[in-house]
C-alpha cells in the first residue's frame, strides 16, 4: 500500500492504538472485528471485567477538527449495532461494556503520533436498549 492510502493510514493508527491499550493494561481480544459480517469494530479489548469496543480515528493534523469529531450519530449507530451482534455471540447478558475512542494524530513517516484515549466516549444507541 502507498503511504498516503487511507486504509494503510487506518491500519497504522490501529497498530498504535493497540499498543497504547496494552500499555494501559488492557487485553486486546480482536482487531477489525466484523460480527455479522458487515459492520466493523476497530478493536475489541477487555479491561478487567469490562468489554471495551474501541473506535480508532487517525488524522495527520487537527486542522479540520479532532479525529473523534468523525464519530457522529450514524457512526455511533453502526458501532452500537456491531457491538450488540458481538454481545449476542457471547450469550452472557451480564457482561459490562463501554465504547471508547482512540484518537491518533500524526503522519506515518513522522515517528510516534499523539495518542488520546477517550473512555466512555458514547453510549449504546437507544434503539438497541432492551
Concatenated DSSP letters of 31-55: EEE-TTSSS-EEEEEEETTEEEEEE
In angstroms and rounded to an integer, the radius of gyration of the C-alpha atoms of the chain is 15
Q: Model confidence at 104, in pLDDT bands (50, 70, 90)?
A: very high
Q: Are 113 and 89 spatial neighbours (Cβ–Cβ below 8 Å)?
A: no
Mean pLDDT value of segment 69-79: 92
- Tell me the CB-side half-sphere exposure of residue 2, using CA atoms within 13 A: 3
Q: Read off the pTM.
A: 0.90
* pLDDT recorded at residue 8: 86
Distances (CA, A) of 91 to 30, 74, 84, 85, 97: 18, 26, 11, 10, 14
Residues 1-56: tens digit of each pLDDT: 454 577 888 899 999 999 999 999 999 999 999 998 889 999 999 999 999 999 99
pLDDT of 76 over the 80 cut: yes
Cβ neighbours for 64, distance < 8 A, ≥ 6 positions apart: none
How far apart CA 39 and CA 13 sit, in angstroms, is 19
Architecture in CATH of 6-123:
3-Layer(aba) Sandwich (3.40)
Per-residue cell: 33: 472485528
Mean pLDDT value of segment 53-81: 92
DSSP state of 64: T
Amino acid at each position: 500500500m502507498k503511504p498516503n492510502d487511507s486504509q494503510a493510514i487506518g491500519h497504522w493508527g490501529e497498530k498504535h492504538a493497540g499498543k497504547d491499550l496494552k500499555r494501559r493494561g488492557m487485553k486486546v481480544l480482536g482487531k477489525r472485528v466484523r460480527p455479522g459480517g458487515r459492520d466493523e469494530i476497530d478493536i475489541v479489548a477487555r479491561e478487567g471485567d469490562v468489554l471495551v469496543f474501541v473506535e480508532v480515528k487517525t488524522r495527520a493534523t487537527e486542522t479540520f477538527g479532532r479525529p473523534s469529531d468523525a464519530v457522529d450519530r450514524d457512526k455511533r449507530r453502526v458501532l452500537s449495532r456491531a457491538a450488540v451482534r458481538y454481545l449476542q455471540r457471547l450469550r452472557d447478558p451480564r457482561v459490562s461494556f463501554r465504547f471508547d475512542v482512540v484518537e491518533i494524530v500524526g503522519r506515518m513517516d513522522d515517528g510516534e503520533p499523539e495518542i488520546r484515549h477517550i473512555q466512555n466516549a458514547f453510549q449504546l444507541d437507544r434503539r438497541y436498549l432492551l
